[in-house]
Amino acid sequence: MNKSIFIFCLFFYSKILFSQNEVYNYARKIVDTMASESMHGRGYVNSGDKIAANYIKTEFEKFGLKTFNNNYYQHFNFDINTFPNTPYLSTDYISINWFPAENYLVSATSPPIKKLKNLEIVWCDSTTICSENNFKHFQKQKFKNKWIIIDKKGIVDKEILKTLEYIKTNPYKAHGIGVIQENKLTWTCSQNVSSFPTIELLVNDSTRKLIDKTKKCYVAYQAESKFIPNYQSQNVIGYVQGSIYPDSFFVFSAHYDHLGQMGENIYFPGANDNASGCAMLLNLAKYYSKPENKPKYSILFIAFGAEEVGLVGSKYFTENPLVPLNKIKFVLNMDIMGTGEEGITVVNGSIFKNEFDKLKQINTDNNYIKEIKIRGKAANSDHYYFSEKGVKAFFIYTMGGIKAYHDIYDKAETLPLNEFENLFKLITKFSESLQN
């Protein structure tokens, strides 16, 4: 082959390859960026939420999405408990080095605690809780200046809640509670502060066997949380005008916030939850903003804030909608889009059965995803307040693959995005079928 023909072929081939992988490549870039340290876990320490919102806004601008009131942001406020300072924990009942978010978690509701030392441990395990006599003995103790550790092994959740309630309302207040978990640590966000510090401790079975609960043992602890009342965050909203029905709206949504930081150096990347959903949202915005893909309905692209805090951003939007809610024909909310080995689940699928059947038919005809599971109503993501207000809404999440969730292991490096392009095709075909 002549050299110039070879170069031409190479160029042509790489062009084809690029267009095939364009959706994936762009998704990869978004997940890598949004789950990186520079976004601080997209929470409320170091303004992670604002950095993430600005990133999405910049992408919206690139695609030329239209704004409402000349602004991509819709602001709202809420209270939030944050952890800007690195917590500290040491115990002498076993020689474990405690690392925040790795083998222990400060509960999201924890009040600020400065340097507590020499707090005696009171054990509470299945032998305490499952025998009436033992529990009576436990109740007679004075907990003042003590730290109670509940070992969950062999105790049902209902009993644990009852015990926690008892401990918290006991007049001889303990200084704090530790709860031993076996499997994994799962963090969260809180708008409230408890009067009581609670920590979760990850201890496996073989380590647990080494604990001598008869020995007098102590805890030292520090976690300076910072409660911020009335924090201002934002939804990021843009739209593409419809070619035939500009006053009818189709909504794509995904929350961009995550859990933020626990101390100065530890952040929760939230690659699957929900940088992956943002990657789908931005891919859709990029696609529908091209003149050749102009939709029939107007399409709203909403990156919701403060989902992890309790669906705060989406609730605010449904109470202060930028278009009349009765003009919204359908909402497709995407949260956790990074795997898919076992297919996807559609929340509200059994409520909007016609639309679910349509989605399923498109998938069967084109063989995109292994399985589409149906689910009923659930208040587990940003679709919720829409369907509560009578707007048809689905929430789609992927299943299978990596199990990291609300922990420091939900990272970009290990997120496969293996069904991402198929999902993109399924979603665009579905949205187009609803606009006919």
Query: Rounded to an integer, what distance in angstroms lies between the CA atom of residue 72 and that of residue 234?
Result: 9
Q: Which one among 49, 257, 335, 382 touches Zn ion, defined by CB under 5 A?
A: 335
Restricting to residues 35-74, which ones interact with Zn ion according to CB under 5 A? none
Q: Which residues contact 308 (CB under 8 A, 6 or more apart)?
A: 43, 188, 189, 255, 257, 258, 259
Q: Kindly calculate the radius of gyration of the chain based on its CA atoms and give it in whole angstroms.
A: 25
For residue 401 the two structure tokens come to: 């693959």
Nearer to Zn ion by Cβ, of 273 and 410: the residue is 273
Nearer to Zn ion by Cβ, of 49 and 335: the residue is 335
Q: Do the Cβ atoms of 233 and 303 come closer than 8 Å?
A: no
Nearer to Zn ion by Cβ, of 68 and 405: the residue is 405
CA 260 to chain centre: 10
Site for Zn ion contains 298 (CB under 5 A):
no
Nearer to Zn ion by Cβ, of 289 and 345: the residue is 345
Restricting to residues 383-412, which ones interact with Zn ion according to CB under 5 A? none
Query: Rounded to an integer, what distance in angstroms lies between the CA atom of residue 85 and that of residue 225?
Result: 7
Nearer to Zn ion by Cβ, of 410 and 419: the residue is 410
Number of residues that bind Zn ion (CB under 5 A): 3
Nearer to Zn ion by Cβ, of 242 and 401: the residue is 401
We find the least distance from the C-beta atom of residue 381 to Zn ion, in angstroms, to be 6
We find the least distance from the C-beta atom of residue 255 to Zn ion, in angstroms, to be 6
We find the least distance from the C-beta atom of residue 373 to Zn ion, in angstroms, to be 18
We find the least distance from the C-beta atom of residue 181 to Zn ion, in angstroms, to be 21
Instruction: Select the span of 134-142, 194-202, 293-301, 327-335 touching Zn ion (CB under 5 A).
Output: 327-335
Instruction: Select the span of 66-74, 161-169, 177-185, 270-278 touching Zn ion (CB under 5 A).
Output: 270-278
Site for Zn ion contains 314 (CB under 5 A):
no
Backbone angles phi, psi at 280, to 5 degrees: -70, -45
Measured CA to CA in angstroms, residue 367 lies from 44, 84, 125, 343, 362 at distances of 41, 47, 51, 11, 8
Going through 27-145 in order, the beta strands assigned E by DSSP cover 73-82, 88-91, 104-106, 113-124
We find the least distance from the C-beta atom of residue 278 to Zn ion, in angstroms, to be 11
Query: Rounded to an integer, what distance in angstroms lies between the CA atom of residue 183 and that of residue 62?
Result: 44
Following CA atoms 37, 254, 51, 63 in sequence, which dihedral angle do they give, to the nearest 10 degrees? 120
CA 129 to chain centre: 34
Nearer to Zn ion by Cβ, of 46 and 274: the residue is 274
Following CA atoms 358, 294, 22, 64 in sequence, which dihedral angle do they give, to the nearest 10 degrees? -130
Nearer to Zn ion by Cβ, of 288 and 385: the residue is 385
We find the least distance from the C-beta atom of residue 78 to Zn ion, in angstroms, to be 17
What x-and-dash track marks residues 67-106 binding Zn ion by CB under 5 A? ----------------------------------------
The answer to whether the bond into 293 is cis (omega within 30° of 0) is no
Planar angle of CA 310, 165, 44, nearest 5 degrees: 30
We find the least distance from the C-beta atom of residue 249 to Zn ion, in angstroms, to be 23
Query: Rounded to an integer, what distance in angstroms lies between the CA atom of residue 67 and that of residue 285?
Result: 13
We find the least distance from the C-beta atom of residue 405 to Zn ion, in angstroms, to be 9
- Would you list the DSSP string of 327-338? GEEEEEEE---S
We find the least distance from the C-beta atom of residue 7 to Zn ion, in angstroms, to be 46
Instruction: Select the span of 128-136, 141-149, 180-188, 266-274 touching Zn ion (CB under 5 A).
Output: 266-274
Give the three-class secondary structure for 334: strand
Nearer to Zn ion by Cβ, of 274 and 283: the residue is 274
For residue 63 the two structure tokens come to: 């695609």
Restricting to residues 107-146, which ones interact with Zn ion according to CB under 5 A? none
CA 293 to chain centre: 31
Q: Which amino acid is at 48?
A: G
Site for Zn ion contains 274 (CB under 5 A):
yes
Position closest to Zn ion via CB:
273
Instruction: Select the span of 13-21, 202-210, 235-243, 265-273 touching Zn ion (CB under 5 A).
Output: 265-273
13 φψ region: left (φ > 0), alpha (ψ -120 to 50), beta (else): alpha
Site for Zn ion contains 419 (CB under 5 A):
no
Site for Zn ion contains 273 (CB under 5 A):
yes
We find the least distance from the C-beta atom of residue 272 to Zn ion, in angstroms, to be 8
Instruction: Select the span of 29-37, 70-78, 197-205, 274-282 touching Zn ion (CB under 5 A).
Output: 274-282
- The site for Zn ion (CB under 5 A) is made up of 273-274, 335
